[in-house]
Structure 1
Amino acid sequence: MDNNPSILSHVSIGTNDFERAIAFYDAVLSTLGCKRLMEHPGAIAYGKQYPEFWVGIPFDGQPATVGNGAHIGFIAPTKEAVHAFYEAALAAGGKDEGAPGGRPEYSKPYYGCFVRDPDGNKIEATFWDESLEQELNQSNV
């Protein structure tokens, strides 16, 4: 039986400055309890148990580009972790795309932030307040 709760094997993003990207993600992902799990020349994978998020130089040797309309959301264990992620991202050279806070248009339990990494990839940290979700579900009964 598979106990992995993920629905994806992994996500990979490209970088045009490998050392800068790795310094950024080492600082930012550690706020969520993630660490380097695998390393290959020009590529590093992060995760908690599995190598789920890869950062690397594009395999085809062409410049890395950003996907317009795409972003990667990371799970934060607490609201404080959302803030730590955001602050670490800005301190490591990221750019603000939405400060930590609730987004009622997403749902009452949602609390998160958005930043762009130094290559321009959009990333998010999200805390889902299950107590608010239970409240929401009870009011819909």
Structure 2
Amino acid sequence: MIGYTMVGTKDLKRAMRFYDPLMALMGQERCYCDEQVASWGRKDDDRTPRFFTGYPFNGEAATFGNGIMTAFLIETADVINRLFRIALENGGSSEGAPGFRPQYGEGFYAAYARDPDGNKLAFVCYDARKPFAP
């Protein structure tokens, strides 16, 4: 159903420095880049949803709203932990540390961050396994 998601930025080079390591860990490659926009996804499959960041087309300031979020489906809690750490190390801020969110279902594990422009991101796994406790 989703063709692509786009979030605005006021500094494309900074946004690419933020997103490149996250997308690499998620197995996504940079598909396109020019002076206005960059995208990640799969170069070999243009039907796979892509993620874009760029300057707004109308030339006005990039804005974000409360309640708007892009959620990336991730295979394991370990990868979510790594993505969250990378986001913070590259200028992002925390909106919720990695952990189980039982209110959303058994096995729902997530971390929430904002990119340097304030866009909210979620890294989620629907069937994470709790660590073994002796």
TM-score by length of 2: 0.87
**Which residue is 1:92 aligned to?**
90
Residue 23 in structure 1 maps to residue 21 in structure 2: no
**Which residue is 1:45 aligned to?**
39
Q: Is the 8 A contact 1:37 1:51 kept in 2?
A: no
Which structure has the larger Rg?
A: 1
Q: 1:86 to 1:118 in 2, by over 3 A?
A: same
Residue 77 of structure 1: CA displacement?
A: 1.5
Aligned residues: 126
SS at structure 2 position matched to 1:82: helix
Q: 1:131 to 1:99 in 2, by over 3 A?
A: closer
Counterparts of 1:114 and 1:84 in 2: how far apart (Å)? Answer: 12
Residue 103 in structure 1 maps to residue 97 in structure 2: no
Counterparts of 1:44 and 1:51 in 2: how far apart (Å)? Answer: 14
Counterparts of 2:18 and 2:88 in 1: how far apart (Å)? Answer: 9
Residue 109 of structure 1: CA displacement?
A: 2.1
- Opposite residue 37 of structure 2, the aligned amino acid is A
SS at structure 2 position matched to 1:105: helix
Counterparts of 1:43 and 1:60 in 2: how far apart (Å)? Answer: 13
- Opposite residue 44 of structure 1, the aligned amino acid is A
- Opposite residue 22 of structure 1, the aligned amino acid is M
Summarize deviations over 1:68-96 as a string: whole Å, max 9, x none: 21100001121111011100000000001
**Which residue is 2:114 aligned to?**
116
Deviates more, 1:84-93 or 1:27-36: 27-36
Q: Is the 8 A contact 2:10 2:61 kept in 1?
A: yes
Unaligned runs of 5+ in 2: none
TM-score by length of 1: 0.83
**Which residue is 1:69 aligned to?**
67
Unaligned runs of 5+ in 1: 1-6, 133-141
Superposed structure 1 runs of 4+ greater than 3 Å apart: 48-51
Percent identity for Structure 1 against Structure 2: 36
Q: Is the 8 A contact 1:43 1:54 kept in 2?
A: yes
**Which residue is 1:12 aligned to?**
6
RMSD: 1.7
Summarize deviations over 1:77-128 as a string: whole Å, max 9, x none: 2111101110000000000111111001111121110000000000010112
